[in-house]
Amino acid sequence: MRHLKRLFVLTMAVALVVVIAPGLLAGEAEKITGDVTKININKACVGELAQLKFIGPKFAERIVQYRTEHGPFERVEDIMKVRGIGQKALDANKDRITLE
């Protein structure tokens, strides 16, 4: 019985590593290589925009709505015209946001 418990715990630990490792390794690869996924705020969907730091689904929806009502962003800094998005979010994402 003890053997089965140990086997179960080991199996669960391996499964957890398999599930979590790819996400952790992707973040580490970005740090090592400096590769950053660029997100075009004039074309990105809500799901893509929600990947930005400090931008969740609600702010992503506001970005899309603002873009629909006012047209494309002309400068990266224009994202701060969206209600609730400030300097902190811009600074955290400046290297990831693109207009092209």
How do residues 12-21 score in pLDDT, each as one tens digit?
666 655 556 5
CATH of domain 39-98: 1.10.150.280
Q: Domain coordinates of the chain in residue numbers?
A: 1-35, 39-98
The secondary structure element, H or E, covering residue 9 is: helix 2-33
Tell me the C-alpha to C-alpha distance, in Å, between residue 5 and each of 11, 16, 34, 46, 53. Answer: 10, 17, 43, 44, 41
| Cβ atoms of residues 79 and 49 within 8 Å | no
Q: What is the largest CA-CA distance in the chain?
A: 66
Question: How far apart are alpha carbons 57 and 50 in whole angstroms?
Answer: 5
Residue percentage of the chain with pLDDT more than 90: 62
Asked if the model's pLDDT at residue 28 lies above 70, the reply is no
Asked if the model's pLDDT at residue 52 lies above 80, the reply is yes
